[in-house]
Structure 1
């Protein structure tokens, strides 16, 4: 099974690129499952999204708690259920927490949750992210330039061993880079069989 993680800040193109990766493997005749968090089909995901749209420390804590439960549910329910499983918004949600806690939780979750060589962090400059986010109808608590700068810095630090993809350019350019990495990783797996 190919386990792909697509992570990044809001507005970085996670869903867009996850869908393009899904199409890529569907075209090869594979069964593909995509799970986006917070998900819309269970109480954990719904409550995480509701808290993200709120303000204050209580909503921050609630969002983190429900988001974690939502991801854990997805892993339990979908890991191993298709040739390719794509998790969107998986580990980097911890980057929204203060850094010492974020680093500890990242190490904890990356130890207990499945990871792989197929981990992509989609990176965009904070000012471009903010421009993209302001075009949306709903706004989450961290969608301001100051928070985007801080969270991006923490996420980049945590994603040291990931494939960091610049998605501040045309979608086709970023996806071409992703596809080349997917091909290389797939070929490495085939050569070890």
Structure 2
């Protein structure tokens, strides 16, 4: 089973590009499972989402912990390495970048030992100003959606990006997806 990771900060188009990648493989006749976290179809995802909507340090930690449990649940339930098809995980390891700075590397390394790592790992990125402009168009706002919070999380995420394809999403959706498709084709042909 091909495992594709689509990650990044809020407002960079993770869900949009996850859906486009799913369509890309479905159009080629493949079975595709698309999981976006936090998922509202289970306890861990609902608790993560709930914590994201409330301020405070404890809610940040709760959101990160429940988010990780949600991802672990999805891996256990949907990832079968010996089966055919594609599993696309939107939001995966980079949720650890939202942890306090002192434990972000530890959190990433710890979590990395419990989930499969894939050559298909995409970190979608854009300048914080662009991200904030996109986020302001949403009806619902989460605790990390301020300029200062985005800058802090982005800096922490950049420390963790070994073996990730970093994709600039500040252009159009079509341009971004074209860049992703080039990498998908290259990886699929290896």
TM-score range, shorter chain: over 0.9
Give yes or no for the alignment of 1:129 onto 2:134: no
Aligned partner of 1:93 in structure 2 is: 95
Counterparts of 1:100 and 1:82, CA distance in 2: 40
Q: 1:133 to 1:82 in 2, by over 3 A?
A: farther
Uncovered stretches (5+) of structure 2, i.e. residues with no partner: none
Aligned partner of 1:172 in structure 2 is: 174
Q: Is the 8 A contact 2:61 2:99 kept in 1?
A: no
Uncovered stretches (5+) of structure 1, i.e. residues with no partner: 189-193
Alpha-carbon displacement from aligned partner over 1:115-143 (angstroms, at most 9, x marks no partner): 11000000010011011111111111010
Instruction: Tell me how many residue pairs correspond in the alignment.
Output: 188
- 4+ aligned runs moved over 6 Å, structure 1: none
Alpha-carbon displacement from aligned partner over 1:129-162 (angstroms, at most 9, x marks no partner): 0111111111110100011111111112211320
The CA deviation at 1:71 is: 0.7
Aligned partner of 2:116 in structure 1 is: 114
Q: How does 1:68-87 map to 2 (within 5 A)?
A: 68-80=68-80, 83-87=85-89
SS for the counterpart of 1:62 is helix
Question: Given the two structures, how large is their TM-score scaled by the length of structure 1?
Answer: 0.94
Aligned partner of 1:15 in structure 2 is: 15
SS for the counterpart of 2:155 is helix
Residue number among 156, 159, 167 corresponding to 1:157 in the alignment: 159
Alignment RMSD, CA only? 1.0
